Structure formats: structure tokens, C-alpha cells
């Protein structure tokens, strides 16, 4: 896998804070009845975050933010950097604080971290499969409320964010073309009504539809659900007559197919599965000193 990113994006703290309120409301409710029954107030513990499978760390800033949301400040020491690869069995972080506090935040921390690490790890695999000349894009197929966080994790894995929402790019999709009569008609309406400061992208479903757009001022064309053969034909045609147009392929993209397409000449491949089919990475937060650390005895 690749080395850690040095140009880390800004962590979307406000998005996390909004979700923290909901997370504690559903998990804590009226209180942690088990911990309150078996653990004395003021009891302190050491704990560690353990990776049970290999992956990419994404979301480390959320740990301290979750504690702060409840007014807590345990000591947190990271042994792995944000965006860095880690191995199964590796300790990612160590904690020291009130035992009740650690257990109160345990599941919420893991729910966020496992999701973000899962996204980053999957993205890293797709980015490596695509090679250096083709970028992996995410989509808007995100969990509602999590979009900024999910897209942050994509960048940590080496992917590139597509549009954040409906507001920051003109993307004429198949439904727009159907409602307008054709993709070309939709483009003409956009040119007449929308500022050209926004990027203009058009989705096409076949080579005939592609041909109608080659003399328009589109910035990029999305080649949706095309066969490998049609994708190759589309790349050759656009590069010959309109080389300034960026090309993105989408639809049915898994790792074997991305590897097949890596040298085709596409600029981008978008993969909805990065965020709509997240496989959470297996992490665990354990009370104790953990591997690699000497347990301190009592005097």
C-alpha cells in the first residue's frame, strides 16, 4: 500500500459534532446502567485501540472530538498517523482516563472509526488498482448526514471527491436528458441559463449520445454503464477530436475491472461502492495495557 498522505484534508468537525449529539442520545440515553453499577466513580483505567485487520487510519480527530462532546479529556496517545497504513494486531492508540468515561464513549468511537477506516481502506485498494494516471472518484451515494465525513475518508484513502451536492457542479444525468428530450438539448439549456463558472458534466449512455456532445463546451463526459469495448471506442474518439474533454467511467466498477481499465486513457473512474456499501474495518477498544507495553504494578 501507499505511504501516508502528507497533504491531509481538513477534518469536517462540524459534521461530526452534529452526529455526536444523535449518537449519544441513542446510545447513552438516560445513562450507562451497567458501568454505573459495577465501576466506582473516580476509577481510572488504561486502554488501547487495537486493529484486528490491516487497513488505513481515517478519522483519528473524531476520537478527541467525541470525548470533548461529553466534556471529557482522557489522555490519548496515537501510535499511528492519520492516513497511514496499519497491520492486523497493531495498537493504533492508547488511552488513560476515567473508566466510566472510556466505556461511555467506546462504541461511539468505534462506530465512527470503523466506518471511516473501512472507506479509506477500500478507496486505497481502488486507487492502487487504477494506477497513477486515472483517479478514483466517489459519488453522492453516502449515508445521509455523513457525506462530508465519508468523503473525507475517501481522500485519506487516495481518492478524489466528486461534487459535494447538487449545488457545486452541473451534472446532466439520464433523467435530465429524458426530461429535456436529449442530452444535447439539456446542454443547450444549461449554457443559456447557468454561469459557466460551474463545471459542466454530461452523462451519456451510448456512443451515439456521446457524438452529439463533442462540439459543445462541456468540461467532462461521464460514460455510464458502458462495456469495456465501448469505453475504449469513446476514449479514442474523444481524444482524437476533443482532447480537452475529461472522461469519467462509472457503473459496475469492481477491482478486477478497474485493473483492466487502468491503461485505457480514462481520467476518472467513479465507484459508488466506496461509500454506499461500506465494509467497516474491525477495530477494538480494550481496557488494559495491551501488547507492547509493560503493565505498571502498584507499590
Pick the catalytic residue from 5, 173, 189, 246: 173
Query: CA-to-CA distance for 197 and 191, rounded, in angstroms?
Result: 11
Is 193 one of the catalytic residues? no
pLDDT at 55: 98
Query: CA-to-CA distance for 4 and 8, rounded, in angstroms?
Result: 9
| Residues with Cβ within 8 Å of residue 230, at least 6 apart in sequence | 206, 207, 223
pLDDT at 195: 82
122-140 residue pLDDT tens: 999 999 999 999 999 999 9
Query: CA-to-CA distance for 290 and 48, rounded, in angstroms?
Result: 6
pLDDT at 6: 65
Selection from 282, 291, 289 nearest residue 53 by Cα: 282
Q: What are phi and psi of 48, to 5 degrees?
A: -145, 150
Average pLDDT over residues 55-70: 98
Q: What residues does 46 pair with on adjacent strands?
A: 96
Pick the catalytic residue from 106, 203, 209, 248: 203
298: confidence class by pLDDT, cuts 50, 70, 90? very low
pLDDT at 97: 98
pLDDT at 296: 46
Query: Is 294 in a helix, a strand, or coil?
Result: coil
Is 203 one of the catalytic residues? yes
The share of the chain scoring above pLDDT 70, in percent, equals 96
187-239 residue pLDDT tens: 999 999 998 889 999 999 999 999 999 999 999 999 999 999 999 999 999 99
Query: CA-to-CA distance for 111 and 278, rounded, in angstroms?
Result: 12
Contact between 224 and 253 under an 8 Å Cβ cutoff? The reply is no
Q: State how beta strands 91-98 and 44-51 pair.
A: antiparallel
2 has pLDDT over 60: no
pLDDT at 290: 77
Pick the catalytic residue from 70, 141, 237, 259: 141
Average pLDDT over residues 39-58: 98
Query: Is 201 in a helix, a strand, or coil?
Result: strand
Is 141 one of the catalytic residues? yes
All cell numbers assigned to 80:
499511528
Report CA 140 to chain centroid distance, whole Å.
11
Is 163 one of the catalytic residues? no
Report CA 180 to chain centroid distance, whole Å.
33
Query: CA-to-CA distance for 146 and 275, rounded, in angstroms?
Result: 10
pTM for the predicted model, two decimal places: 0.94
Pick the catalytic residue from 107, 196, 239, 260: 107
Domains of the chain: 13-120+279-287 (3.90.1170.20), 127-276 (3.20.20.70)
Query: CA-to-CA distance for 199 and 267, rounded, in angstroms?
Result: 15
Is 7 one of the catalytic residues? no
Query: CA-to-CA distance for 295 and 125, rounded, in angstroms?
Result: 37
Pick the catalytic residue from 84, 209, 224, 248: 224
Amino acid at each position: 500500500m501507499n505511504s501516508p498522505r502528507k497533504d491531509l484534508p481538513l477534518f469536517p468537525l462540524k459534521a461530526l459534532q452534529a452526529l455526536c449529539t444523535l449518537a449519544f442520545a441513542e446510545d447513552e440515553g438516560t445513562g450507562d446502567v451497567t458501568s454505573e453499577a459495577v465501576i466506582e466513580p473516580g476509577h481510572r483505567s488504561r486502554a488501547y485501540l487495537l486493529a484486528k485487520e490491516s487497513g488505513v487510519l481515517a478519522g483519528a480527530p473524531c476520537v478527541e472530538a467525541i470525548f470533548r462532546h461529553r466534556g471529557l479529556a482522557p489522555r490519548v496517545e496515537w501510535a499511528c498517523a492519520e492516513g497511514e497504513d496499519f497491520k492486523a494486531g497493531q495498537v493504533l492508540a492508547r488511552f488513560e482516563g476515567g473508566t466510566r468515561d472510556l466505556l461511555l464513549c467506546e462504541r461511539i468511537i468505534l462506530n465512527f472509526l470503523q466506518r471511516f477506516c473501512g472507506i479509506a481502506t477500500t478507496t486505497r485498494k481502488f486507487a492502487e488498482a487504477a494506477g497513477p494516471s486515472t483517479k478514483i472518484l466517489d459519488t453522492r451515494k453516502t449515508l445521509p448526514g455523513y457525506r462530508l465525513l465519508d468523503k473525507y475518508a475517501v481522500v485519506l484513502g487516495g481518492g478524489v471527491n466528486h461534487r459535494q451536492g447538487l449545488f457545486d457542479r452541473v451534472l446532466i444525468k439520464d433523467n435530465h436528458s429524458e426530461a429535456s428530450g436529449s442530452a444535447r438539448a439539456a446542454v443547450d439549456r444549461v449554457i443559456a441559463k447557468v454561469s459557466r463558472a460551474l463545471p459542466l458534466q454530461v452523462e451519456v449512455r451510448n456512443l451515439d449520445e456521446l457524438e452529439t456532445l463533442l462540439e459543445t463546451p462541456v468540461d467532462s463526459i461521464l460514460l455510464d454503464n458502458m462495456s469495456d469495448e465501448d469505453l475504449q471506442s469513446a476514449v479514442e474518439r474523444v481524444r482524437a477530436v476533443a482532447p480537452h474533454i475529461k472522461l469519467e467511467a462509472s457503473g459496475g466498477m469492481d477491482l478486477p475491472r478497474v485493473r483492466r481499465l487502468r491503461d485505457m486513457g480514462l481520467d476518472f473512474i467513479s465507484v459508488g461502492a466506496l461509500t454506499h456499501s461500506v465494509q467497516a474495518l474491525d477495530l477494538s477498544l480494550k481496557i488494559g495495557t495491551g501488547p507492547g507495553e509493560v503493565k505498571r504494578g502498584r507499590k
